[in-house]
Structure 1
Amino acid sequence: MGIYDIEPLGLEKIRTYPLATRKSKVSVRDFVKPHRRGTTVAEFLDSLPRILAADDLRAVVGAILRARARRKAILWGLGGHVFKVGLGPVLIDLIRRDFISGIATNGAGLVHDFEIALAGNTSEDVEAALGGGAFGMAEETGLYLNEIAVGAHRSGLGMGEAAGKLLTSGRLRVKYPESSVLIAAYRAHVPVTVHLAIGTDIPHMHRSADGAALGAATHHDFRLFCALVKQMHAGGVYL
């Protein structure tokens, strides 16, 4: 006998029921089908479990296909990592096949795709560069991206469109145009909106930075993004 005034609850009156009568959320009918050599992507998608995240993925694919069929906006919101981990070619393919109506990214996304277009590499070693004050000091990145902002401000453009315009102008030696989402989107007339926060991106530390131009260019893109969102009404998709 314990010292407590309360005793553990007795389970003698618990009522059970046959497992076969219970409504369950998971069935073997929903299980994954192992991959077979020669199957298509559509067959692979259909083979995934019809449970939780896999079924969510299937729902996303269906929503995108319906939006495309209805000619509704399919908007993609992307951070810098999507570009720097090498997914640009997938986005470029989707642009060409009319699965992207607009791309919204931040300053890091602009930096990474611009450097990829220009030099074929991006994402510096922060730990190695920070202590000596060299982080973010690549000359071309700061110079050209700030030039883009100034040009956008003067021309009444946003950062995304102005970046695509400069990269395709022939003024710069662009070594890897086929790997740039900015270039593919510009050529396809797919809007790219760049949503800056002043002081968060490496070009803002360069002497060529113009706060008024950066603010005006990114505000233009904000308003352009709002217009794109309006096109999502009644069947659009935002990822």
Structure 2
Amino acid sequence: MPYKQFDRNKLKLRPLVERIHDVKQTVIKAVDGEIQWKDDPKYDLLAEAILNAKHKGATVLMMYGAHVIRTGNGLLMIELMKRGLVTHFATNGAGAIHDFEMAMIGATCESVAKYISEGQFGLWNETGLLNEAVNQGVKDGLGFGEAVGRCIWENEFPGREQSVLAMGYHLGVPCTVHIGIGSDITNEHPNCDGAAIGEASYRDFLIYTESVTGLAHGVFLNFGSAVAGPEVYLKALAMARNAAHQQGVRITDFTTAVFDLLPIESEDFEEAPPKTDPRYYFRPWKTILSRTVADGGRSCYICGDHSVTVPNLAARVIKLDREETGR
């Protein structure tokens, strides 16, 4: 006997104009705006690694959690995209939702405490348009990120030029979205098609994996994605190396970096912590900083809020690129 399923027709969705937004468009940082400067040599080393990767035509992949968008880093990321300094952006479902809402209405983010109590959390009409974008995108052979980016760009959302996904679509730079079904507010909506979002995100995983095949001499950056970031990267690298090894090729000699809020009292990431150490279960350390560069590469960890870390790295690498290109 099939189990009883929740009837989504029972849900009442409200318009976004009625929602109290915690994040407004004013949070978006200008490319040459003032930043909270951090005197940390690791930023300079990473900037040089990114520029070297550009010279060699290697992949520079930036994976990020939703907080990176909520703290207003979109224009900085787009500038890195335009300059060919980051060749692939990847995020989770929440990252796509915040990008979509910010482009559409210039605001995003709601109080979970307030709206979960009211039974209204995530249930806003216009946000569900993202599902329609993905549904149509799948029919057209697109992945999740490209489908959402196309919707933002072609429907001329007011903030489309501040949207990472839209500018990725416009400039032809892959921006992929790696979802967990049931973990995003758009999954609550009656127009959510599980088959479509699964197919779209799996296409993105294969696009992501193709980018990882070019990671030798490149850079992998992980900003605040503690589960999807390391896990998607790990499987993609396994696939890429499997195919490469059959051709006698090794995907090594690349740089990885993790940016997160967890204080780690260590500068030696060659060995992951033992299982008796709670830090062992912080996946970015054992996966990104240790295991995947063990065959040749280097890694570093920078602790800080993304409102500080993204601008600090972007400012340095853009400066190096300007000195070289004259623009």
2:58 counterpart (72, 82, 86): 72
1:186 counterpart (151, 158, 169): 169
In structure 1, C-alpha distance between the alignment counterparts of 2:142 and 2:159, rounded to whole Å: 24
Match of 1:106 in 2: 92
Q: CA deviation at 1:182?
A: 1.2
The answer to whether structure 1 residue 217 and structure 2 residue 200 are counterparts is: yes
The answer to whether structure 1 residue 154 and structure 2 residue 161 are counterparts is: no
Match of 1:27 in 2: none
The answer to whether structure 1 residue 238 and structure 2 residue 220 are counterparts is: yes
Match of 1:135 in 2: 121
In structure 1, C-alpha distance between the alignment counterparts of 2:163 and 2:202, rounded to whole Å: 23
Q: CA deviation at 1:149?
A: 2.1
The structure that is strand-richer by fraction is: 2
In structure 1, C-alpha distance between the alignment counterparts of 2:120 and 2:63, rounded to whole Å: 30
User: SS of the counterpart of 1:168?
Assistant: helix
Q: CA deviation at 1:127?
A: 1.3
Q: CA deviation at 1:59?
A: 1.5
In structure 1, C-alpha distance between the alignment counterparts of 2:158 and 2:138, rounded to whole Å: 27
User: SS of the counterpart of 2:118?
Assistant: coil
Instruction: Tell me the TM-score normalized by structure 2.
Output: 0.55
Matched pairs, number: 188
Match of 2:108 in 1: 122
In structure 2, C-alpha distance between the alignment counterparts of 1:190 and 1:162, rounded to whole Å: 13
Match of 1:57 in 2: 43
For 2:146, the aligned partner's letter is E
Match of 1:10 in 2: none
- 1:71-101: per-residue Cα shift (whole Å, max 9, x none)? 2111100110000111111111111121110
In structure 1, C-alpha distance between the alignment counterparts of 2:188 and 2:170, rounded to whole Å: 30
- 1:175-217: per-residue Cα shift (whole Å, max 9, x none)? 2122211111111100011000000000000000111001100
In structure 2, C-alpha distance between the alignment counterparts of 1:238 and 1:151, rounded to whole Å: 31
Q: CA deviation at 1:151?
A: 1.4
Paired residues of 2:153 and 2:167 also in contact (CA < 8 A): no
Q: CA deviation at 1:125?
A: 1.4
In structure 1, C-alpha distance between the alignment counterparts of 2:159 and 2:44, rounded to whole Å: 34
User: SS of the counterpart of 2:63?
Assistant: strand
1:163 counterpart (140, 143, 148): 148
In structure 2, C-alpha distance between the alignment counterparts of 1:203 and 1:126, rounded to whole Å: 15
- 1:2-57: per-residue Cα shift (whole Å, max 9, x none)? xxxxxxxxxxxxxxxxxxxxxxxxxxxxxxxxxxxxxx9xxxx9x94xxxxx2222
In structure 2, C-alpha distance between the alignment counterparts of 1:56 and 1:175, rounded to whole Å: 37
Match of 2:274 in 1: none
Q: CA deviation at 1:152?
A: 2.3
In structure 2, C-alpha distance between the alignment counterparts of 1:178 and 1:193, rounded to whole Å: 18
Instruction: Tell me the TM-score normalized by structure 1.
Output: 0.74
In structure 2, C-alpha distance between the alignment counterparts of 1:183 and 1:150, rounded to whole Å: 17
For 1:147, the aligned partner's letter is E
Q: Give the share of equivalent positions with the same residue, in percent.
A: 38
In structure 1, C-alpha distance between the alignment counterparts of 2:65 and 2:173, rounded to whole Å: 18
In structure 1, C-alpha distance between the alignment counterparts of 2:76 and 2:194, rounded to whole Å: 33
